[in-house]
Structure 1
Amino acid sequence: MSAHGDPIPMTARRAGPLMGVAEVPGDKSISHRALILGALSVGETRVTGLLEGQDVLDTGKAMRAFGAEVTRTGAGAWTVHGVGVGGFAEPADVIDCGNSGTGVRLIMGAMATSPISATFTGDASLRARPMNRVTDPLRLFGAEAHGRAGGRLPLTLKGAVTPVPVRYTVPVPSAQVKSAVLLAGLNAPGETVVIETEATRDHTERMLAGFGAGIGAEDTPEGRVITLTGQPELQPQEIVVPRDPSSAAFPVAAALIVEGSDVLVPNIGLNPTRAGLFTTLCEMGADLVFENERVEGGEPVADLRARFSALAGIEVPPGRAPSMIDEYPILAAVAACAEGKTVMRGIAELRVKESDRIDAMARGLEACGVTVEEEKDTLIVHGMGPGGVPGGATCASRLDHRIAMSFLCLGLAARKPVTVDDGGPIATSFPVFEPLMQGLGADIARAEA
C-alpha cells in the first residue's frame, strides 16, 4: 500500500513525443535544510520555491513541534521564526517523519546537542531503514539513542546535556550523516570537524555559511576536512530554492528515450555534487543543452533542454556515485533504452534507501523483458535500443517514489504499457509529477486497483 493511504496503481503508455516546458518542484535537499536552519536562526527566514512534497511538509511539522513558528504564506512561500541554536523545546508528541530519511536524520542532528528528548517514527519504509549511521556519531557528542534492533525507528533520542565537539570521519559517503554531525556541532563548544574521503552534496555547508556560521573546508591527504565553529548566532535569510535536479531527472530522461521529444526544464540547480546524472547522460550521447547558466543564492543554476537521443551504454565511474546516488533508478530505465551494456558499480548505498533500489530496478526491468546482472554493489543493464523494451509488466514500487517514477518513464518508451502497483509515494518528493508529465504529452493515468 501507499506510504500515506491506499495503493494508487498507475500505468504509462507509449504515445507521441514529449514537448514543452517542465516546471519541476523546488530542490528537496535545500528545502529540508532551509526549514531546519531557519528554525535554528534568530528572527524570520523567508523561503520561496519550497518543495511542498510530503517529506518537506513533515520536516516543517517537526520544526513546529520543536518550538519554531512555520507558516505557509503562498504557493511555495514560507516563513520560519526561529528559536536560535540550542533553543529547541522538547516536543509534546512523537515526531513522524513519514517517508523521509533525509528529514529524520537531519532533525536528529539538529536536536542531538540540546538537553531534550524526542521520539521519532515514520512509515513502513522509513522504519526499515538503519539509523545507526547517524546515531553512532551523535553519541560522540553525548547524546543517547534507544531504538529497535539495528537502530531502527521508532527511536528515542536524548540530547546531550553538556555536549562536546567531535572529530568524525564519515565511514561511507553520506551527505545525511555529514549534515547530521554538522548540525549537532552547532550547539557544541569549540570546533566540530567532519572528514569525508569522498565529497558528497554540500548544501549544508553552503547554507550554514549563508546563515552566518563559521565553517570552512579544505582538501587534504586524508580527505575533505570540514571545520565548524560551534555556538554561533545564525542570522535569518531570504532563500530562493532552485528546482530539484533529482526531480528534473524524470522529464529529462523521458525526453531522451521518447522519440521526437524536446523538453525544457528551467531553473535547475546544478551544484556539482548533484549533477552526476547529467554528466553520465552526456557521456551516453544525450542531447542536453545548458542554457542561461547563472548563480542564484550561492548555487549554480541553468535551464536544461533535453531532446530525444540515440544513447549508448557506458561504464559509470564508481567515484561519481555520491553525485547521483538518487538517480540510479532512472538511469537504469534509460540504460534499458540504450544500445549496449551500462555498468553501474559502487552503488551499495542503494540497498538502504527507501527500498533496496538495486533489487527493485532489477526485478522490474526483468519483468519488462530487459536482461540485467546484479551484484551487491553493482547493477548491469543490457540495453535494447530505442523502442526496444517489451514492457507489458506490473512493477512493484516498494513504497519508493523514485522506483515508481522510473518505471512510469520507462513505460512511455516501451512497446507495451508499464504499470506500477502504487504511485502514491510519488507525492513525497514530486507531488505534481502526474499533471506535469501529462502536460508534456505523456500518457500516464491512474489504473483500476
Structure 2
Amino acid sequence: MSSETPHAHRSHRPATPLSGSITVPGDKSISHRALMFAGLAIGETRITGLLEGEDVLRTAAAMRALGAAVRRDSDGAWLVAGTGIGGLHSPDDVLDMGNSGTAARLLCGVLASHDIFAVMTGDASLRRRPMRRVIDPLAACGAVFAAREGGRLPLAVTGAADARPLSYRLPVASAQVKSALLLAGLNARGITEVEEPEPTRDHSENMLRHFGAVVSVVPHGAGKLIRLQGQPELIAADIIVPGDPSSAAFPIVAALLVPGSRITIAGVGLNPLRTGLFTTLLEMGADITITNKREAGGEPVGDLVVVASSLRGIDVPAARAPSMIDEYPILAVACALARGPSRLRGLGELRVKESDRLAATLAMLRVNGAHVEVEGDDMIIDGGANRLGGGTVLTQMDHRLAMSALVLGMAADAPVMIDDARFIDTSFPGFMGLMRGLGAAIEAEPEAA
C-alpha cells in the first residue's frame, strides 16, 4: 500500500447514465497461474494482458525469488524465462504474498514437491486465512509444513526431495486446492489424481495443456476426476490473459442499476466455470448481450453490451456457487435493488475469503437499510426496501466488498461511504478512474484527500 492512512470514499447517484466502452484488467486467476506455469517451463513465455494488481505482482516477485527470470517489457508484456520443473531454488528471503490467498495456496503446491526451503507470510488479512485445506493434503507428497495455530501464515515449507504423486478427493469444491495439488503433482513421479465433488474453474487444466502437460478430465459423479502425468517437460508458450469476469461484474451491475445506462466491456473471459454471475443476472432480467465471441490462450472471450434493466429477485442454487464464488457481494447488491425476495444458497466458502465475506456482506447491506438475513449458509435478501444507502461500510481489507459498496451507492437513495479504498488495487488497479470515466460519482472524503 502506498499509505498506512485509510482512504475513505463516497459514491452517490450520478447526474447522467453510465456510458462508454471499456476493458477491465486481466483475469486474476489466469494471471497468477500464467506466472507460475511459465516459471516452471523451459524457455521464455510472453504474457500479454497480465493483471498488474498487487496480488499478481506478489506472485511475480515470488517466482523471481525462486529462480525464474520475470520482467516487464517496454510494451507492457511480461516475459518469464522458466527454470524447468525441478529447477527452482530456495529463496534468500521470506516470500510476502500480500493479500492474495490464491497466490499463497497455489505456491504451497509449487514448493511442496521441490527440494527447497521457503517461508511465506502475508498482510494482516491473509495471515488470518486458513491454509490447512492445502497443507494437509500436500503433506502426503512428502513435504513438511510448519504454521501458526489453525494452519495460518507465516508458514515454513520444506519441500519433498522425491515427491510422491497425490490421490485426493476434495471435501468441498475448491479451484485453489485442486490447483495446488496439480502444481505439486508436476514434480512427482507417476500420476496425480484429484477428484472434485462439483466442477470448479479449470484454468489450471487448460494452462497445463497449453504448456504441454498430459492432463485428462473425465466426469465423475456430480464432479470431475483430473489426472496429471508427473514430471512432464513444460515448454514455454505465449499467453493472452482475457479480461477478468470477476472485475467486469462491478461495472456490469452498476450499468444495470443506474437508469438509462449502456456500456460495452471488451475482451471479457467467458469460461463457463466462471460465468455463474452472468447466468444469474440474465435470469433476473438483465439486458446483457455477448458479441464478438472468440478464443484467446485456450480460453473463450467475448465483448459484453450491458443496458440498464429492471431486475427481479432470484433463488440461486448452491451448485452454482463455485462458478461465481467471488461475485456474491456484488450480486447481493443487485438483489437488494431488485423487485422481490432473493435467496443465495451454499455460501459457506465466503466465510474464509479476504474477510468473513458472508458476515461482511450482511453488514454492508444492513447498514444501508436492506432487509437481509443469513440462515446457515444461505443469504435471504428482501429486495425493494423503501430507502437504501446512507451507511458507512467497514471494508475489512476486502477489495470486493469495497467495490460492491461503491456500486450500491451509485443506485441507492442516499450516498454510501467506505472506510478504506486502498485494497481495491490488489485486484482492480484503476477501478476509480474507470468507473468515473463511465460517469460514476465516486469521491474521496476530504479528510483523506
TM-score (normalizing by structure 2): 0.98
Name the CA distance, whole Å, in 1 between partners of 2:222 and 2:251: 39
Name the CA distance, whole Å, in 1 between partners of 2:375 and 2:207: 37
Native 8 Å contact 2:255 2:306 kept in 1 = yes
| Per-residue deviation, 1:222 | 7.2
| Per-residue deviation, 1:6 | 2.1
Native 8 Å contact 2:94 2:118 kept in 1 = yes
SS in 2 for 1:50: coil
Native 8 Å contact 1:3 1:425 kept in 2 = no
| Per-residue deviation, 1:264 | 0.5
Equivalent runs, 1:291-310 vs 2, <5 Å: 291-310=291-310
Equivalent runs, 1:377-388 vs 2, <5 Å: 377-384=377-384
Distance 1:51 1:76, change over 3 A: farther
The answer to whether residue 315 in structure 2 is matched with residue 315 in structure 1 is: yes
| Per-residue deviation, 1:380 | 1.1
Native 8 Å contact 2:44 2:79 kept in 1 = yes
Native 8 Å contact 2:197 2:221 kept in 1 = no
Pairwise CA RMSD: 1.2
Moved more, 320-329 or 158-167: 158-167
Name the CA distance, whole Å, in 2 between partners of 1:21 and 1:411: 22
In the TM superposition, structure 1's runs of 4+ consecutive aligned residues that sit over 4 Å from their partners are none
Native 8 Å contact 2:120 2:153 kept in 1 = yes
Q: Which runs of 5+ in 1 are unaligned?
A: none
Name the CA distance, whole Å, in 2 between partners of 1:72 and 1:389: 48
| Per-residue deviation, 1:161 | 1.3
SS in 2 for 1:150: coil
Distance 1:75 1:429, change over 3 A: farther
Name the CA distance, whole Å, in 2 between partners of 1:14 and 1:210: 45
SS in 2 for 1:83: coil
The letter for the 1-side match of 2:226 is: I
The answer to whether residue 217 in structure 2 is matched with residue 224 in structure 1 is: no
Equivalent runs, 1:6-45 vs 2, <5 Å: 6-15=5-14, 16-45=16-45
Name the CA distance, whole Å, in 2 between partners of 1:64 and 1:389: 51
Partner of 2:397: 399
Equivalent runs, 1:316-395 vs 2, <5 Å: 316-384=316-384, 389-395=387-393
Distance 1:222 1:78, change over 3 A: same
| Per-residue deviation, 1:316 | 0.3
Partner of 2:423: 425
The answer to whether residue 101 in structure 2 is matched with residue 90 in structure 1 is: no
The letter for the 2-side match of 1:426 is: I
| Per-residue deviation, 1:379 | 1.0
| Per-residue deviation, 1:358 | 1.0
The answer to whether residue 188 in structure 2 is matched with residue 188 in structure 1 is: yes
| Per-residue deviation, 1:4 | 6.6
The letter for the 1-side match of 2:144 is: E
| Per-residue deviation, 1:250 | 0.3
Q: Work out the percentage of aligned pairs sharing the same amino acid.
A: 55
Partner of 2:162: 162
Q: Deviations over 1:271-326 (max 9, x none)?
A: 00000000000000000101111122211111001111000001001100000000
The letter for the 1-side match of 2:249 is: A
Name the CA distance, whole Å, in 1 between partners of 2:357 and 2:223: 28
Equivalent runs, 1:122-161 vs 2, <5 Å: 122-161=122-161
Partner of 1:65: 65
Native 8 Å contact 2:54 2:427 kept in 1 = yes
Name the CA distance, whole Å, in 1 between partners of 2:104 and 2:177: 11
| Per-residue deviation, 1:375 | 2.7
Q: Deviations over 1:316-360 (max 9, x none)?
A: 011000000000000001111100111001010000000011111
Distance 1:75 1:333, change over 3 A: farther
Q: Which runs of 5+ in 2 are unaligned?
A: none
Native 8 Å contact 1:186 1:230 kept in 2 = yes
The letter for the 1-side match of 2:7 is: I
| Per-residue deviation, 1:390 | 2.3
Name the CA distance, whole Å, in 1 between partners of 2:3 and 2:178: 29
Moved more, 274-283 or 219-228: 219-228
| Per-residue deviation, 1:75 | 5.6
The answer to whether residue 435 in structure 2 is matched with residue 437 in structure 1 is: yes
Distance 1:108 1:76, change over 3 A: farther
Native 8 Å contact 1:370 1:381 kept in 2 = yes
| Per-residue deviation, 1:141 | 0.4
TM-score (normalizing by structure 1): 0.98
The letter for the 2-side match of 1:421 is: D
Moved more, 50-59 or 10-19: 10-19
Partner of 2:210: 210
Q: Deviations over 1:67-98 (max 9, x none)?
A: 11100014641000100101110001000000
The letter for the 2-side match of 1:237 is: A
The letter for the 1-side match of 2:424 is: I
The letter for the 1-side match of 2:412 is: A
The letter for the 1-side match of 2:11 is: A
SS in 1 for 2:340: strand
Name the CA distance, whole Å, in 2 between partners of 1:73 and 1:346: 43
Name the CA distance, whole Å, in 2 between partners of 1:3 and 1:217: 43
Name the CA distance, whole Å, in 1 between partners of 2:12 and 2:99: 28
The letter for the 2-side match of 1:444 is: I
Partner of 2:117: 117
Partner of 1:408: 406
Number of residues of Structure 1 aligned to a counterpart in Structure 2: 446
| Per-residue deviation, 1:249 | 0.2
| Per-residue deviation, 1:446 | 1.3
SS in 2 for 1:42: coil
Moved more, 215-224 or 254-263: 215-224
The letter for the 2-side match of 1:37 is: F
| Per-residue deviation, 1:3 | 9.5
The letter for the 1-side match of 2:359 is: D
Native 8 Å contact 1:27 1:242 kept in 2 = yes
Native 8 Å contact 1:276 1:321 kept in 2 = yes
Name the CA distance, whole Å, in 2 between partners of 1:223 and 1:362: 30
SS in 1 for 2:71: strand
